Structure 1
Amino acid sequence: MSAEQQIDDFTPGRPILFRNATVLSMDAAIGVLDGGDVLVRGERIERVGHRLDAPESAVVVDAAGGILMPGMVDTHRHMWQTALRGLGADWTLSQFFVFYYLNWGKIFRPEDIYAGNLLAGIEALDAGVTTTVDWSHGLQTPEHGDAAVEALRTVPGRFVLAYGNLLGAPWEWANSPEFRSFVDRHFASRNDMLGLQLAFDVTGDEQFPEKAAFEAARELDLPVTTHAGVWGATDDNGIRLMWEHGFMDPKVTYVHAASLSRDSYQRIAASGGTASVSTESEQSAGQGYPPTWQLRRHGIPVSLSMDTSVWWSADLFSAMRATLSADRSREHLEAQSAGETVVHNKLRARDVVEWATIGGARALGLDDSIGSVTPGKKADLVLVKNDRSPVMFPMLHPYGHVAFQAGRGDVHTVLVNGSVVKFRHELAATDLDRARTAVAATAEYARTEMGEDAWQQSLEPEIAETELIPNPYTYSDYRGDGVAIQQAEA
Structure 2
Amino acid sequence: MSSAPQPDDFRPGRPILFRNATVLTMDRALGDLDGGDVLVRGTRIERVGRGLEAPDGAAVVDATGGILMPGMVDTHRHMWQTALRGLGADWTLSQYFVFYYLDWGGIFRPEDIHAGNLLAGVEALDAGVTTTVDWSHGLRTPEHGDAAVEALRSVPGRFVLAYGNLLGAPWEWANAPEFRSFVARHFTARDDMLGLQLAFDVTGDEAFPEKAAFQAARELALPVTTHAGVWGATGDDGIRLMWEHGCMAPGTTYVHAATLGEDSYQRIAASGGTVSVSTESEQSAGQGYPPTWLLRRHGIPVSLSMDTSVWWSGDLFSAMRATLSADRSREHLAAQTSGETVVHNALRARDVVRWATLGGAEALGLADSIGSLTPGKKADLVLIRNDRSPAMFPLLHPYGHVVFQAGRGDVHTVLVNGTVVKYRHELTGTGLDRARSSVAATVAYVRAELGEEAWRQALEPEIPETELIHNPYGYTEYRGEGVAVRDEGDRAPGPAGRRAPGPAGPSGPQG
Normalised to the residue count of structure 1, the TM-score between the two structures is 0.98
Supply the distance in 2 between the matched residues of 1:4 and 1:354 (Cα, whole angstroms).
30
Q: Deviations over 1:274-294 (max 9, x none)?
A: 000000000000000011011
Give 1:6 shift.
1.2
Q: What is aligned with 1:132?
A: 132
For 1:377-388, list aligned pairs within 5 A: 377-388=377-388
Q: What is aligned with 2:247?
A: 247
Q: What is aligned with 1:287?
A: 287
The yes-or-no answer on 1:118 pairing with 2:82 is no
For 1:53-202, list aligned pairs within 5 A: 53-202=53-202
> Does the CA-based 8 Å contact 2:71-2:129 persist in structure 1?
yes
> Does the CA-based 8 Å contact 1:473-1:487 persist in structure 2?
no
Supply the distance in 1 between the matched residues of 2:30 and 2:486 (Cα, whole angstroms).
62
Q: What is aligned with 2:260?
A: 260
Look up the SS of the partner of 1:470 in the other structure: coil
Supply the distance in 1 between the matched residues of 2:146 and 2:2 (Cα, whole angstroms).
43
Give the AA of the match of 1:117: N
Give the AA of the match of 1:302: V
For 1:74-473, list aligned pairs within 5 A: 74-473=74-473
Supply the distance in 2 between the matched residues of 1:72 and 1:483 (Cα, whole angstroms).
45
Look up the SS of the partner of 1:420 in the other structure: strand
Look up the SS of the partner of 1:254 in the other structure: strand
> Does the CA-based 8 Å contact 1:472-1:487 persist in structure 2?
no
What runs of 5+ residues in structure 1 fail to find an aligned partner? none
Give 1:471 shift.
2.6
Look up the SS of the partner of 2:275 in the other structure: strand
Give 1:4 shift.
6.1
Give the AA of the match of 1:39: L
Give 1:69 shift.
0.2
Look up the SS of the partner of 2:33 in the other structure: strand
Supply the distance in 1 between the matched residues of 2:2 and 2:158 (Cα, whole angstroms).
30
Cα pair distance change 1:451/1:387, threshold 3 Å: same
Give 1:429 shift.
1.0
Give 1:477 shift.
5.0
The yes-or-no answer on 1:25 pairing with 2:25 is yes
Q: Deviations over 1:204-251 (max 9, x none)?
A: 000000000000000000000000000000000000000000111212
Q: Deviations over 1:132-176 (max 9, x none)?
A: 000000000000000000000000000000000000000000000
Look up the SS of the partner of 1:357 in the other structure: helix
Look up the SS of the partner of 1:209 in the other structure: coil
Supply the distance in 2 between the matched residues of 1:92 and 1:129 (Cα, whole angstroms).
27
Q: Deviations over 1:367-405 (max 9, x none)?
A: 000000000000000000011111110000000000100
Look up the SS of the partner of 2:215 in the other structure: helix
Give 1:475 shift.
2.3
> Does the CA-based 8 Å contact 1:118-1:152 persist in structure 2?
yes
Look up the SS of the partner of 1:422 in the other structure: strand
Look up the SS of the partner of 2:430 in the other structure: coil
Give 1:115 shift.
0.1
Give the AA of the match of 1:91: W
Supply the distance in 1 between the matched residues of 2:406 and 2:473 (Cα, whole angstroms).
45
> Does the CA-based 8 Å contact 1:275-1:302 persist in structure 2?
yes
Give 1:487 shift.
4.6
Q: What is aligned with 1:478?
A: 478
**Residue range with higher mean Cα deviation, 1-10 or 323-332:** 1-10
Q: What is aligned with 2:498?
A: none
Kindly name which structure, 1 or 2, has the bigger radius of gyration based on alpha carbons. Answer: 2
Look up the SS of the partner of 2:13 in the other structure: coil
Supply the distance in 1 between the matched residues of 2:119 and 2:95 (Cα, whole angstroms).
24
What runs of 5+ residues in structure 2 fail to find an aligned partner? 490-506
Give 1:191 shift.
1.7
Number of positions where the alignment pairs a residue of Structure 1 with one of Structure 2 = 490
> Does the CA-based 8 Å contact 1:471-1:488 persist in structure 2?
no
Supply the distance in 2 between the matched residues of 1:87 and 1:2 (Cα, whole angstroms).
47
Look up the SS of the partner of 1:412 in the other structure: strand
Supply the distance in 1 between the matched residues of 2:28 and 2:249 (Cα, whole angstroms).
26
Supply the distance in 1 between the matched residues of 2:488 and 2:271 (Cα, whole angstroms).
57
Look up the SS of the partner of 1:391 in the other structure: helix
Look up the SS of the partner of 1:365 in the other structure: coil
Cα pair distance change 1:487/1:351, threshold 3 Å: farther
> Does the CA-based 8 Å contact 1:282-1:288 persist in structure 2?
yes
Supply the distance in 2 between the matched residues of 1:280 and 1:286 (Cα, whole angstroms).
10
> Does the CA-based 8 Å contact 2:277-2:291 persist in structure 1?
yes
Give 1:488 shift.
9.8
Supply the distance in 2 between the matched residues of 1:20 and 1:154 (Cα, whole angstroms).
33
> Does the CA-based 8 Å contact 1:156-1:430 persist in structure 2?
yes
Q: What is aligned with 2:499?
A: none
> Does the CA-based 8 Å contact 1:474-1:488 persist in structure 2?
no
Q: What is aligned with 2:495?
A: none
> Does the CA-based 8 Å contact 2:228-2:256 persist in structure 1?
yes
Give the AA of the match of 1:391: A
> Does the CA-based 8 Å contact 2:5-2:59 persist in structure 1?
no
> Does the CA-based 8 Å contact 1:469-1:486 persist in structure 2?
no
Supply the distance in 2 between the matched residues of 1:484 and 1:469 (Cα, whole angstroms).
6
Q: Deviations over 1:415-450 (max 9, x none)?
A: 000111111001111111111110011011000000
Give the AA of the match of 1:256: H
> Does the CA-based 8 Å contact 2:4-2:61 persist in structure 1?
no
Supply the distance in 2 between the matched residues of 1:453 and 1:476 (Cα, whole angstroms).
44
